[in-house]
Amino acid sequence: MGGVVNNTYNKSGKVHNKFPGYTFASTQQFTTTGTWTKPVGITAVQVYVTAGGGGGGGAGATQTGGSGGGGGTAIKFITSGLGATETVTVSGGSGGVTTNAGDAGTSSFGTHCTGTGGEGGTASAGASHNAYGGVGTGGDLNLNGCGGMGNGGSNYSSGAGGASYWGGGGAAALDNGGRVGYFGGGGSGCANQGEGNHGGQNGGTGVVVIHEYKG
């Protein structure tokens, strides 16, 4: 659920007023699906909507799985059509598995803007394409997540998961497993050192950040 924090965002300890006529008031951050309720006096918001990252693919003995793509992000300043409440959907990252990982879901802020999830990494059945990052839609600025590195067949090191706007892609792995993604980053694929079949790691859960303004 969302939590209100009166954060500052520059080195001087003061909030930079980047929207003339509006004064920054507070921030809410959602890491799970919930409902945003407009605080008293708030007339505008700037939202950052990031989807979950794709999970890493699995690998058989002496193979590597492909890493997942990062979630897409939409950034939007909203002054009109802002409801007293808005549904905030936060997608989880897809799970790292011993086979091909699934794609992550979509995050959204009401009907204003969305980010789609990163593509899951493929299992080690020979070389594969890089997993695609998700895309932002409906924002003033729409950003793709970075792609996850594909597997190269017989290789003892997996590639890194794709980063989201916030970073967070799982690091490349050298052991029997991958690394988890964070804040919409893709999970890295499995790097199997010759011990049966192992899975990649989970993509990072998405996030929705809402900066609230009075004006």
Q: Rounded CA gap, 102 and 121, in Å?
A: 8
Q: Kindly give the confidence (pLDDT) of every residue in the chain, 215 residues in length, as a single tens digit, with 9 standing for 90 and above.
A: 344 333 444 444 445 567 889 999 999 999 999 999 999 999 999 999 999 999 988 877 667 888 999 999 999 999 999 999 999 999 999 987 788 889 999 999 999 999 999 999 888 755 556 899 999 999 999 999 999 987 755 556 777 899 999 999 988 776 666 788 999 999 988 877 666 677 788 999 999 999 999 98
The predicted structure's pLDDT at residue 16: 52
Residue whose C-alpha is closest to residue 197's, from 66, 96, 97, 98: 98
Whole-model pTM: value is 0.87
Tokens standing for residue 93 = 């990252």
Please state the three-class secondary structure of 31-98 as a single string: CCCEEEECCCCEEEEEEEEECCCCCCCCECCCCECCCCCCCCEEEEEECCCCCCEEEEECCCCCCCCC
Using left for φ > 0, alpha for ψ between -120 and 50, and beta otherwise, residue 104 falls in beta
Are 215 and 23 in contact, with CB atoms under 8 Å apart?
A: yes
Q: Which of 169, 55, 178 is nearest to 119 (CA)?
A: 55
CA 13/CA 1 separation, integer angstroms:
26
**Residues 6 or more apart from 13 whose CB is under 8 A from it?**
none
pLDDT at residue 127, as a whole number: 52
* Closest among 106, 70, 72 to 89, alpha carbons compared: 106
Handedness of CA 121, 122, 123, 129 (dihedral sign): negative
Closest CA to 134 of 32, 208, 49, 34: 49
pLDDT at residue 128, as a whole number = 59
User: 47 near 28, Cβ under 8 Å?
Assistant: no
